[in-house]
Homo-oligomer: A and B are copies of this chain.
Amino acid sequence: MNIVLLDPCQTESEIWSITSKRQLEHLKQHINVQVGDTLKVGIREGKRYLTEVVELMEQAVKLKPIQIESVPEKLPVTLIVAMPRPKVLRRLIMDSVTLGVEKIILLHSYRVDKSYWQTPFLQQLDQYVTLGLEQAGDTIAPKIEIYKRFKPFVEDVLPGLITTDCPAYVAHPYADMKMPFAIDHPCTIVIGPEGGFIPYEVDLLIKNGCQAVSLGNRIIRTETVIPYVLGRLFSAC
C-alpha cells in the first residue's frame, strides 16, 4: 500500500478520516503511523494528496491535506485476457491495475474451464482493483468487462475496439511477425488461456482485425506475460 485510497465522501470536510479496518491495520502494524507523519492519500476517481496525520483513534486515523500530488498516467491499452484460474485472477487484476492498464476484458475461450466463471473471486474484482491502485499510487480504476461467449465478443465487440491508430495484437507462438515494441499509439492486446487459443479462435481473431505476433520461443504463463508485454510495448513511455 503506497497510498491510502479514500472514497470521495470521506474527504468532504476539512479533516479526513481513514476508517477501513484493512487500511487501519496496515497503517498501525506495518507503518506504525504517528501524529505529525505525512501520508500519501488518493481520492477514488479523483486527485492525490500529501496529507498530515492529525489524530490517531481506535477506529480512525484523522488527516488534513497539505498539498496536491500528481496521479500517474495510464497506459493507453485495452487488455483482453482469457479468464484465468481463480488463483491467478487476483494477481492478474492487481498487476494490470498497478501497471496502469486502462481497460480489462475477461473473455471465455475453448481452453477456459467453465467452472472458472463460478469463482466467488469474480465478486471481489473491486477489492483487487483497490489493492492495485494503492500499490501503484493511482486513483483511477480501469474499466473491467466480462464476456462469457467468445464468438459474439470477437465478431460483434472486438472490431469496434480496433482502428488504424489503435491496432490489436494477439500473442501467438507460431506468428511470423514479432510483437512490436516502444510504440507511440494506443493498442489492444489479446492474451490466451493456459495452453493457448485453439486454431479456430486465432483464425477468428485475425479475421476480425487482430494481428498475430510472436514473443519468441519461450512459453510464458499468463500472469507473467502481461507485465512482460506491457514493458515491451510501452518501453518508450
A-side residues, CB < 8 A to B, are: 2, 70, 72, 95, 98-100, 135-138, 181-182, 216-221, 224-232, 235-237
Q: Is B181's CB under 8 angstroms from A98's CB? A: no
A48 to chain B minimum Cβ distance, whole angstroms, is 11
B contact residues around A219 at 8 Å (CB):
2, 98, 135-137
Q: Is B99's CB under 8 angstroms from A220's CB? A: yes
User: In the bound complex, what is the Cα–Cα distance between A100 and B219 (angstroms)?
Assistant: 11
User: In the bound complex, what is the Cα–Cα distance between A158 and B226 (angstroms)?
Assistant: 31
User: In the bound complex, what is the Cα–Cα distance between A229 and B231 (angstroms)?
Assistant: 6
User: In the bound complex, what is the Cα–Cα distance between A100 and B216 (angstroms)?
Assistant: 11
Q: A182-B235, A228-B231, A235-B235 are in contact. Are A98 and B218 (CB under 8 A)?
A: yes
Closest B residue, CB atoms, query A69: B217
Closest B residue, CB atoms, query A221: B135
A118 to chain B minimum Cβ distance, whole angstroms, is 20
Q: Is A218's CB under 8 angstroms from B72's CB? A: yes
Q: A135-B221, A224-B99 are in contact. Are A216 and B237 (CB under 8 A)?
A: yes
Q: Is A227's CB under 8 angstroms from B216's CB? A: no
User: In the bound complex, what is the Cα–Cα distance between A237 and B235 (angstroms)?
Assistant: 14
B contact residues around A232 at 8 Å (CB):
231-232, 235
Q: Is A98's CB under 8 angstroms from B231's CB? A: no
Between-chain CB contacts (< 8 Å), 13 pairs: A2-B219, A70-B217, A72-B217, A95-B224, A98-B219, A136-B220, A137-B217, A137-B218, A181-B182, A181-B235, A224-B227, A227-B228, A232-B235
Closest B residue, CB atoms, query A231: B231
Closest B residue, CB atoms, query A230: B228
User: In the bound complex, what is the Cα–Cα distance between A219 and B134 (angstroms)?
Assistant: 9
User: In the bound complex, what is the Cα–Cα distance between A70 and B227 (angstroms)?
Assistant: 26
B contact residues around A182 at 8 Å (CB):
181-182, 235
User: In the bound complex, what is the Cα–Cα distance between A5 and B176 (angstroms)?
Assistant: 28
User: In the bound complex, what is the Cα–Cα distance between A43 and B226 (angstroms)?
Assistant: 29
B contact residues around A135 at 8 Å (CB):
219-221
User: In the bound complex, what is the Cα–Cα distance between A138 and B216 (angstroms)?
Assistant: 12
CB contact between A231 and one of B70, B217, B230 (< 8 Å): that residue:
B230
A213 to chain B minimum Cβ distance, whole angstroms, is 12
CB contact between A99 and one of B70, B99, B228, B236 (< 8 Å): that residue:
B228
